[in-house]
Structure 1
Amino acid sequence: MEDDLQGEVDVAVAAYRDEGGWQLTRLPAGVTGDIEEVERALRPFPSECGVIGMVAVDEDFFVLVRVWGRSTLLLLSDITAVDEWPLASSVADELDLPDPEDDDEPQPAGDMEILADLGVSAIDLAVMLDDPDAYPDEVLGDIAERLGFGDAYQALVG
């Protein structure tokens, strides 16, 4: 299943602040099948404010992961992706969320304050997530822009 997912991953990057500036790098191939793999891939990066993982899958959903010391914060853009994608399912398991019902509307799950101390509030995220025409990688681009590394994000994934 992991090999199948790799072809579906649109974005898989780590962003971290080092010596006052943002650094971006692609996450290694093969770590996006499970949230624990993503967390392990993020832990080695040095950062003044935690390492941010951004993964978008199949124009369907994205996951934000913020690893800071021993703590990990998670945000899943669409809880309905849990039934179709192992990565989304592993995030829901980590967050101890109930399985979505068949008639559930798309909605985010997890920590909407994940980036609040960096200038992207829960309200900002909610507005970005509420745009039905925005693809997950575009929303991640908007988040990157708000955080101050939009050009580096576009150069890496564009």
Structure 2
Amino acid sequence: MSDLSDAEIDAIDVAVAAYRDEGTWNLAELPTHALDDVDAIAHELRRYPGDNGALALIAIDEDFVILVRAQGTLVRVLLSDATAAPEWTLARSVVDHLGVHVEIDEDEEAPAGALDILADLGLSATDMSELLDDLDLDPEEVLAEIADAVGFGDEFDEYLDD
């Protein structure tokens, strides 16, 4: 049973795990029961083999994205808009996982977490920051850009088309 409300579950636009096994990128839909919080997502990600761990790409309510990367016991997270934390259980779990108090200014979106979450795969913290600052992109487009940058853009586009 999920801790998310039905409305929150319905608001999840994309929830996919990406992992590279023997040099090939693979994608798998994340089940709803794995989306309760960062720990549940990380637990689910550890099920997948991966040369560099596994990555969850989540878009919610056409509003914000969450990335969770599990590499063994190391779990890193990124929330594109910390102002989502008061209203969304999953966004709040990211802030709680980070153990930081986030000052919320509803007029100023700001990311929280590891901007360098994918630096070893070719997406630097600076590039991630610029991507998250691009207000012309909706969350699914942000995830598609991330997928392109790290090497599984075609697979991600195919996943979205299914």
- Give the alignment's TM-score, normalised by structure 2: 0.92
Deviating beyond 4 angstroms after TM superposition, the runs of 4 or more aligned structure 1 residues are none
Identity %, equivalent residues: 46
In 1, Cα distance between equivalents of 2:119 and 2:31:
27
1:58 equivalent among 61, 64, 70? 61
Partner of 1:19: 22
Structure 1: 5+ residue stretches without partners: none
Identify the residue that residue 2 of structure 1 maps to in structure 2: 5
Task: Read off the aligned partner of 1:141 and give its amino acid letter.
Answer: A
Equivalent residue pairs, number: 158
Q: Is the 8 A contact 1:32 1:55 kept in 2?
A: no
Match for residue 126 of structure 1 among 118, 125, 129 = 129
Q: Aligned residue for 2:118?
A: 115
Equivalent residue runs for 1:54-133 within 5 Å: 54-103=57-106, 105-133=108-136
Residue 33 and residue 60 in structure 1: after superposition, are their counterparts in 2 closer, same or farther (change >3 A)?
Answer: farther
Residues 104-133 of structure 1, C-alpha deviations (whole Å, 9 max, x = no match): 610111011100010000011011111112
Q: Which has the larger displacement, 24-33 or 127-136?
A: 24-33
Q: 1:43 aligns with which of 42, 46, 53?
A: 46
* Equivalent-residue separation in structure 2 for 1:33 and 1:44 (angstroms): 16
* Deviation (angstroms), 1:43: 1.0
The 8 Å contact of residues 35 and 90 in structure 1, kept in 2 or not, is answered as: yes
**CA shift at 1:134, angstroms?**
1.0
CA RMSD of aligned residues (A): 1.3
8 Å CA contact retained: 2:34, 2:44 = yes
Aligned residue identity for 2:134: D
Q: Any gaps of 5 or more consecutive residues in structure 2? A: none
1:138-153 to 2 correspondences below 5 Å = 138-153=141-156
Residue by residue over 1:83-114, the C-alpha shift from the partner in whole angstroms, topping out at 9 and shown as x without a partner, is 11000000000001214334561011101110
